[in-house]
Structure 1
C-alpha cells in the first residue's frame, strides 16, 4: 500500500512545521496536487531542469525541495522560457513539488542542526532568534479511575514539558456536578438526575506546536460524552527557535585546519576563507544558505569563526576589521539535507507500513565550477 500525498506531507510537517517559516518565505505545496497516492518521493535541494528529468526518469510522484521553486510572483507562464518549460513538464508528468525552506532551517533537528552536527559542534544554540513558542495551560476534569489514562495520553502527545522536565502536571481532587438532559448517553448517571462525581482536576502545560494533538488525545482517552476542559495561553517563555547555530569544537584548532574540516564535512571542492589561517578557533557559528546579514549575530555570540554561504565582498571586509573569521563553503553546502530528509521520511513511512520509496536526488545542481 502506497501512502497518500497528504500523509507524506503530514510526516514532513512533523519534522518541519510550516508555522516556523519566516513571513517572507514561500513554503508548502507549489505545483500539482497531494490528492493522490505516492509511490516514490524525490528529495532535492532545488528543482532544476536536471532534477525534473531525474524525477521523470525515476517515476517520482512528488519532489520535496529545500529551495522553493516559485519564490517570486509569476507575471506569466510561457513555455518558451526556462521556468515555464520546467513547470509544464512537472504538470504534464503529474509531479507535485513541495517546499520546506526556512521552517526546515529553524526547527530543532533540521538543517542548521545537521550542519552543526557535521562540524562536530557541542552546546549548540540558535544563532539568530526568530520566535519563542507559545505555551498554553490545559485544564481538564476526569473521573478518578480514568486519571492516569487521560494523563498519559496527554503526555504521549507532547504535553507536560517545563524546560528539561517532562510529565509535569498538577492534580487536585474535587466534586463535579452535572444533569444529563434528554438525548444524552452519560458515562456516569441517568437522564434527569443531578449527579455528583468525585473527579480529578488535571492541569498541564501544552506547547503551541502540539496543542491540537494533545487536545485530541485527551478527548479520545476521556470517558465522558461531553468533556469539561479549558485551554488558555500563559505568559511563560517556551522553547526558542532561530536561524543558524552557535556551538563549540571539542578542541581549539588553527583556522586553516578547520577550513579543511568544513570542506570535508560539506563535500565541497573549495572554501573561501576570511582571516588569519594560523589563528586558533573553537567557538563556531554556522548558518545554511546566504549568511551575510547574520555576521553581526555571530559577533554578538562571541564566535571565533562563522561558516555560511554567499558572503559578499564588503561583508568580508567588515568581518576582517571586526576580528571574526569566515569560512564560506557556498550556498550548495545545504545539500546535506537531501540524505537526512530522505532517511527521515523513509523511516516514518516504513514504520507506518507503507511501500512508498524515498530517494535523495543524486543530480548535481551547484551552478558554480571551481577551476
Structure 2
C-alpha cells in the first residue's frame, strides 16, 4: 500500500514563492510585522485562488468569503501589527481573521519586503521618471541577499532634464490613475531635478534627504511645512494610493506566474491552475468630496 499524497499547503506555497519575489529578510524587522498572519488549520487542497489587497477590511473579508476557490489572502498591510492578548469576534479586524480561518483561508502579509525588493512598489513609483533619469538609488539599503542586489527603502531619482513641478504632478496622476493629489511648493518654485519617493508614509525616511520633490502618500502638516521651508516641493496622494495600483499592474501577473511554476515542481497532483485576483472592495478610506 503506497503512502498517501501530501499536498503543500497554500501558506507554505506562498512562503516558498515569496522568496523569489521579495524575501521577508528585506523587510524593516525593527518595527514591521511580515509573513504569515493566520494559518487556516484545514485548507482545501483543491482551492487555488489568491486574493490581493492593501488592507484586510470587513468589506474585503466579505468579498473573500464569496470566492468559492479562495485559499489565501495576501494583505500588503499586516492585520496583526502588535501583540494580541486574545482573538475575539468583538474586534472587527480580529473577527476578519477568525472568519477566514474557519473557511480554510490563510492570510500572509509582505509589507515592507515588497517596498524594498528591486521590482517592488518603490521601484514602480519611479517608473514614469526613468526615461529621463540619469541615475536612481535607494534611500537606505536593506539586508543584501544574492539575486536582490540594490534592495532598499525609498528611491531617489536624478533627472537628466529638469521638470516643471506641474509636469511632475501630471506624470504622477497619470501613473497612479488619480484625478487629484495634494501639492505643496516653496514660495519660489524651482525646476525639479531630483525626486525622493516612498510608498505609504515617507516623512521619517526623507529626514536629511536633499531632493527637489518628495513623493509619498502622507506627511503631517508640520513635516510638509519643514520640507517646503527647506526648498522641497511635496506631492501627497493619500497613503494607500501609492501602493494599490501596483497590485494589479505588477504583482498580480507576477505572483500568478510564480505560483504556477511552483505547482509544476512541487505538487505531484496539481488540480487546476492557481489564479490570483485583486480585491474590488479594497480602497483608500479617504476620498475628495
TM-score (norm 2): 0.83
Please name the residue that 1:314 is paired with: 222
Whether 2:126 is the aligned partner of 1:126: answer no
Residues 360/119 of structure 1: CA separation in 2 closer, same or farther (3 Å cut):
farther
Whether 2:60 is the aligned partner of 1:51: answer yes
Shift of 1:271: 1.2
Work out the CA distance in 2 between the residues paired with 1:47 and 1:96: 12
Whether 2:168 is the aligned partner of 1:258: answer yes
Please name the residue that 1:72 is paired with: 82
Please name the residue that 2:115 is paired with: 105
State the Cα deviation string for residues 264-308 of structure 1 (Å, max 9, x = none): 211223211111595321321111011111222431xxx211101
Please name the residue that 1:90 is paired with: 100
TM-score (norm 1): 0.66
Structure possessing the higher radius of gyration over alpha carbons: 1
Give the SS at the match of 1:279. coil
**Is the CA contact 1:290–1:331 (under 8 Å) kept in the aligned structure 2?**
yes
Cα RMSD, aligned residues only: 2.4
**Is the CA contact 2:118–2:150 (under 8 Å) kept in the aligned structure 1?**
no
Whether 2:24 is the aligned partner of 1:18: answer yes
Work out the CA distance in 2 between the residues paired with 1:266 and 1:3: 36
Structure 1, unaligned stretches of length 5 or more?
Answer: 134-207, 211-237
Residues 81/258 of structure 1: CA separation in 2 closer, same or farther (3 Å cut):
same
Work out the CA distance in 2 between the residues paired with 1:307 and 1:281: 12
Work out the CA distance in 2 between the residues paired with 1:278 and 1:309: 21
Shift of 1:260: 2.2
Within a 5 Å distance, the mapping from 1:277-316 to structure 2 comes to 279-299=190-210, 303-316=211-224
Within a 5 Å distance, the mapping from 1:1-371 to structure 2 comes to 4-5=9-10, 6-23=12-29, 24-33=31-40, 36=43, 37=45, 38-59=47-68, 60-120=70-130, 122=133, 123-131=135-143, 133=144, 208-209=145-146, 239-249=149-159, 251-276=161-186, 279-299=190-210, 303-332=211-240, 333-339=242-248, 340-352=250-262, 353=264, 355-371=273-289
| Stretches (4+) displaced over 6 A | none
State the Cα deviation string for residues 129-179 of structure 1 (Å, max 9, x = none): 344x2xxxxxxxxxxxxxxxxxxxxxxxxxxxxxxxxxxxxxxxxxxxxxx
Q: Which of the two has greater strand per residue?
A: 1
Please name the residue that 1:235 is paired with: none
How many residues align? The count is 265
Please name the residue that 1:217 is paired with: none
After TM superposition, the structure 1 stretch with the greater mean CA deviation from structure 2, 41-50 or 29-38, is 29-38
Please name the residue that 2:267 is paired with: none
Residues 329/88 of structure 1: CA separation in 2 closer, same or farther (3 Å cut):
same
Work out the CA distance in 1 between the residues paired with 2:253 and 2:193: 31
Work out the CA distance in 1 between the residues paired with 2:61 and 2:226: 40
Structure 2, unaligned stretches of length 5 or more?
Answer: 1-6, 265-269
